[in-house]
Structure 1
Amino acid sequence: MKIVSLSAHFDGQSIQLDEPYPLEPNTQLIVTLVPKQISEQEAWFSLSSHHLNNAYSEEDDYPVDALKIANPDYAGS
């Protein structure tokens, strides 16, 4: 028998093949667990969040009296 890769999932009780495939009794199998893949959008959010944190986490906070022109529309002023 040739080596084949088959997609399958665990239904909570047993491993189920996603597509029918003829298997003989006592056929040896190798099972590889694949981690749940995050969506592309979640991957971009994670990447941008990480890089924004790296870019701004070391930035100093400036005191209000360091401002030369106050913004009258700013709620904190």
Structure 2
Amino acid sequence: MSTYFKHSRYHLDILVSAICFASVHVIWSSWSWFDFIQYIPAGLSLGLIFKWTKSIYYPILLHFLVNYGPKIIFMILT
């Protein structure tokens, strides 16, 4: 991510990553601008976490928890 934007002052790497994240998630569902805009903050968050930690494992863990956390809690409670 940072290879192409080493000297960017505006975190373009995170923005491009968030747009790619949103695009991939919207492609697999019914495409709409509203859905696309909803995925942008998630992509920005995951990109920032990657940039701060310099590890891909933390964004993957967060993505897993966001996707499956409610299901796991529901299964435990019922």
TM-score (norm 2): 0.28
Higher relative contact order at CA 8 Å, sep ≥6: structure 1 or structure 2?
2
TM-score (norm 1): 0.29
Name the structure where strand makes up a greater proportion of residues: 1
Larger radius of gyration: 1
Name the structure where helix makes up a greater proportion of residues: 2
